[in-house]
Structure 1
Amino acid sequence: MGVRIHVYRNIHTLIALSPKEYFSMAASCALDVVSRPRMLYFQSAQLPFADIWKYGVLTLSVLLLLMALIILTCQLCECQKLSKAEKERKYANEVCNEMTQENGFLGKRLQSSFLGISQHPYYNFKNQKAQKELKKLEIVLSPSSASSNNTGDDVDVPDHIQGKLRFSLVYNKNRLELLLMITGALGLPSQGCMNLFIQVRLLSCGSSQSPGLQHIVQEWQTQVVKNCTSPTFGDQFACTLPEAELGKSSIKLEVKHFDRYSRHIPLGEVRVALNALKNFQSMEFCEELCRATKDVVGEVLVSLKCLPLSQRIEVGLLKVKTASICSSPEKRIYARIGVFWNLHKQKHQKSKPKPLTSVTVFNETFLFHLPEPVVWDCAVLVSIYKMHSSGRQLVGQAALRKREPGETNYHWDGMMQSIQQPIAQWHPLLI
């Protein structure tokens, strides 16, 4: 009953309204009916994710935005560099055109200025250092053999060089002892010989099983004399040597320039045979220096394989033959393989130590990667070392490389003709 009375009152209120008020009231009621369900829907709607996932997505989006900004900055920098290089190239072309238009006067002046820059002490030092490293590398990779086996490849090089070496030799038959005293050197060249020392090797011919091979009996080294072209040493060396070995033994004295951080540069050498020594008689020598040569102390069997697809060269170390007097399992040797390409040395690799015998078997392979573009005119240096308690001693080195035009190298040519096939060959060990 009360509801009906309320409805009737509302109807009488609507009838009492004017038409304008009636239409405005109807419009407000309609908007209220339409908007109220939407507000209720948004208030009740919630995302099904936890807060940590919301923050994670937000952080990831921020990081992606930062990465995009960094990439955009890098690209802008590259574009700026390219535009700057293009401007410099255009400027250089304009300068060249102006030089040609001015009858070459400006060109001559710029040429003289560039010549002055090249003669700057800094650039002179860089050029001298590069030439020095090139000379050392050529010395190490030189294929010259011993003086007794010289084939005459270096005909144009004089046998004698500037300088003399003074020393004395005494042999005591009772004690079977050889005594060497190095007095000094005279008149050495002043270019590149500021720090000098003498390396001495007592050599003996190999047995009948290994003819033509030399064996190092003893090896000594004098003190280093600095800043002197006529150094005085006064070093004495002694060793036990049987009388029967005098006839096939010789002594080699090599003058070298000392380099603390690189290879020592040989300047010249003196060789003396010991078959003319007499008992208790001191023999004085003042010999002229000859060009440094190498002795054959063994052979190494090496295989080479060219792998052009993977841009690699495979070096196989198979066997090493030396003129060792006695074989002992206590004495061990190992090999060090290095690859040189365009005066750049790749990282060397070492073999496992093996007991020293007349023929030591290794059977190990080493892979070296060559940089692009692949150039197979590289050089492979095989160095054999003997292990001691105090360090190591170089036994010999073998250099494998492509020869100059007009020379023959069957091993290297066979490797290039037999792609992905190992080609093995014996090479002499030089020291």
Structure 2
Amino acid sequence: MTTENLTRPGLSSAHSPTASPSSAPTQDASGFLQDIWDRIPLPRWVLITILVGAAFLLASCLLCIVCCWCRRRRRKKGVKKEMVGLGRASNATSAHLVQPDVDDVELGLEDPKRGRLQLSLEYNFRAQELKVGLKQAVDLKALQASSMADPYARIYLTSDPRKVHETKVHRQTLSPIFDENCVFQVSQAELPEAMLVIMVMDFNRFSHHAPIGELLIPLGTSDLHHVLEQWYELGPPGRAEQEQMGELCFSLRYVPSTGKLTVVVLEARGLHQGLSDCYVKVQVLLNRKKWKKKKTSVKRSTGSPYFNEAFTFPVPFSQIQNVDLLVSVWSHSRVARGEPLGKLVLGCRATGHQLHHWADMLAHARRPMAQWHRLQPPQEVDKALQLRKGRRFPLPGS
């Protein structure tokens, strides 16, 4: 009994809770931190302020990094969406962004037949005379489906349009035999730029004479050292007037991400008022209403002016289908108001080469696309535009 009583106190002392192994590391760690805290030669409120400031600075840096990352991600998404839209436009620009069912008929490549002319040309180099022999015409196109025509021909040179030879009228026929000759005075220096124009008209006693077709023969590319006699196809009327108006070269560049349309007016050639001063006007139309316009400098007394001037207009990508670009060449006068020498319209409602130039600009974003365009009569362009009158409001998103 005595030995058991002696051994029990030893066992109880060995397993007493005062020597717990789990509480020893915690006490050591807290003691270590307390030791470091006590060794710092600063007041406690200074240390607490420094720790709070460091935590605030770290949180601010993390927040800035997250915001910058979100902005970059949004910008990349926006650019990607615009690039996807332009990618679709590059494959189907004519159908989606420009105009449905654009084909080569608008370019005049498949123009309906208007008839043929048999013609002979002979140039006398000594007398500097051009002899034109109009033999006959066949398969002329009647302006009315159920009737014949009363055709006659007008013949003149672009170097001297005041001298016009008219044949006699042939009644109720689509294959007249003219068999008439005419002579024009034209020097060898004028031959390279001169052009022979033959217009076949339908005579009407009570109204204006309607044009059936037109033939243009550039004398500079014709071999006049011997007599030429051959058949020619008639083309659509009005081309001679456009030839005299001249041509204009300019480039288009559109950046969809910034919504900027840049027009660079390069040069013009063959203006029919070559001795007058001229300039180019560029206008942006929104929903057939005039919005903004800019002008080039005035070029003095030349038929082939060189401009090389750039203009930039704000056009958001969302409004590109509602915008038309009107480019016109004007004569400048200090005394009287200038007159338009010719105009061009580019945009989704354009046709022919102007429509294809606009489509190329959309299909090749951020790249300048340059092209020559033949000027059109101002009256026809104004009639096709059908401009609306109203107040000018800013473009949405500009």
What TM-score do you get using the length of structure 2 for normalisation?
Answer: 0.39
What TM-score do you get using the length of structure 1 for normalisation?
Answer: 0.37
Higher relative contact order (CA 8 A, sep 6+): 2
